[in-house]
Amino acid sequence: MEEVNLTQVSEFLFLGFSEDPKQQQLLFVIFMNMYLVTGLGNLLIILAIRMDARLHTPMYFFLANLAFVDICFTSTTVPKMLANHVSGRRGISYAGCLTQMFFFIWFGGIDSFVRTAKAYDRYVAICHPLHYTTSMTPWLCGLLQASSWTAALGNALTHTVLLTRLSFCTHNWVPHFFCDLSALLKLACSDTFLNNVMVYTVGILTIITPFMGILVSYTRIVAAVLKIPSTGGRWKAFSTCGSHLSVVTLFYGTFIGVYFSPMSPHPPRNAIAAAVIYTMVTPMLNPFIYSLRNSDMKGALGALVCRRPASFRLLQGWEV
């Protein structure tokens, strides 16, 4: 399709969640509380790991990274949505929209890679415990972290640069509460074929491949857990594994459903509901799923809150 010069919009307007003022107020309170819980919970995890030398292990290194990325991930969308509600505005500038989308894709990609690295760490710890110290070296952990940030940055830059070549000439109402890539592609009045191709090809590297890696890791972990002679030990391991897989499925399932079928006519409400899950629900659940069920983390958090030394058990068995 031949590209035509068209007037570029200077601002996008969000349709948001509801036109009912009472529903808007209720949703504002709910989402503000979710954002505060997410920020506070993940910040406490970072501080507890930073201040307790016994938690300076690969497992908690990736957990602290995940907590930091979750704070950044939710902060790319939720504060702007809350600010618009308070100010009574619905708009965001064209440059602001591209910036929000860039950081949303970047931190979302990092989140995906860090979850994969964390699953690999648990796989090595459970399935190859004798080689854990020599395998999960500080150099490898640093390399995995740097690779996660770099690969996700390339993905975000690719989609942002490709979006700048599109024209938005029909209307500027985004059926969402933030600048979502799939929603913006549906608004474009120029050819989006290349953009959609990149959603599938680049997205496979940042979403599908990490998800499959996590499933393979947990499959092997479950196989190893089945060999545990203690019934109590197996139940504890399966309980932890099940909670991890639940939040992973929520995160990847909603992401895949929205971003890997950009050509399909998603009802706006369904897309918004899915976005709430991966932008607010899973980051809020992570502190509870990955940390507060762990006795070492609970001890570290207790020592942090009470500001007094506490004794901790050495990392053993199947926790986090």
Give the tokens for residue 309. 């030394």
Does any domain span residue 314?
Answer: no
Does any domain span residue 4?
Answer: no
Does any domain span residue 1?
Answer: no
For residue 283, the enclosing domain spans 11-306
Query: Could you give the number of structural domains in the chain?
Result: 1
> Structure pTM?
0.88
Q: Per residue in 109-168, pLDDT tens?
A: 999 999 999 999 989 988 888 889 999 999 999 999 999 999 999 999 999 999 999 888
Which of 92-101, 166-175, 247-256 is modeled with the greatest confidence?
A: 92-101
Does any domain span residue 317?
Answer: no
Does any domain span residue 284?
Answer: yes
Of 54-68, 72-86, 158-172, 264-278, the poorest mean pLDDT is in 264-278
Rounded Cα gap, residues 50 and 251, in angstroms: 26
Amino acid (one-letter) located at 35: Y
Q: Under 8 Å CB-to-CB from 2, ≥6 apart: which residues?
A: none
Domain of residue 272, CATH code: 1.20.1070.10
Q: Under 8 Å CB-to-CB from 10, ≥6 apart: which residues?
A: 93, 94
Q: Are 159 and 205 in contact (CB under 8 A)?
A: no
Q: Under 8 Å CB-to-CB from 238, ≥6 apart: which residues?
A: 222, 225
Does any domain span residue 320?
Answer: no
Does any domain span residue 6?
Answer: no
Q: Is residue 207 scored above 60 in pLDDT?
A: yes
Q: Per residue in 208-264, pLDDT tens?
A: 899 999 999 988 988 888 877 776 667 766 666 777 888 888 899 888 888 776 545
Sign of CA dihedral 99, 101, 288, 48: negative
Does any domain span residue 22?
Answer: yes
The model's confidence at residue 309, banded by pLDDT at 50, 70 and 90, is very low
